[in-house]
Amino acid sequence: MNIDQTTYSAVLGVVLANIRTFQGVEQKDMAQRMGLSQASYSRLEGGKSAFSVDQMFQAASALSVPGDELHRQLNAMISQLQNNGITVNPQLRGNTTQAKKEEGSGMGHLLVGAALGALLIGLLSKK
């Protein structure tokens, strides 16, 4: 994946991290609220693992954010990224035909975690 691409899960992770940080919730507390290890939650929030639909709603509930509000924020962030030339794609799962086809092609390089967070902060500060 090129540097100007990211995944829906990575964007969701940044949105959740922003809400969590705004509320003053530590990552370890968020993980505990969701019944996950801190390392597992960190991988989700950092875009290294893909959120399931269940985990997305668990996270919203853990932060007392209605699902439709989380969805609105996620869509707004995706639109903002796309307006700035960033392509947002589904995260390839290891067992998919597409993932097997692209294995070893360098497609694993994603704009995630701190880099995506820094990009989003920069984009948001341009308002």
Q: Give residue-wise pLDDT tens across range 6-27.
A: 999 999 999 999 999 999 999 9
Q: What is the residue type of 90? A: P
Q: What percent of the chain has pLDDT over 90?
A: 61
Q: What is the residue type of 17? A: A
Per-residue pLDDT of the chain (127 residues; tens, 9 = 90+): 456 889 999 999 999 999 999 999 999 999 999 999 999 999 999 988 999 999 999 999 999 999 999 999 999 999 999 999 999 998 876 655 554 455 444 444 444 554 566 556 666 655 4
Q: Give residue-wise pLDDT tens across range 71-86.
A: 999 999 999 999 999 9
Q: How far apart are CA 120 and CA 117, in angstroms?
A: 5
Count of the separate structural domains present in the chain: 1
pTM: 0.74
Q: Which domain holds residue 77?
A: 5-125
Side-chain half-sphere exposure of 61, counting CA atoms within 13 A:
10
The CATH number assigned to the domain holding 15 equals 1.10.260.40
Q: Hey, is 50 helix, strand or coil?
A: coil
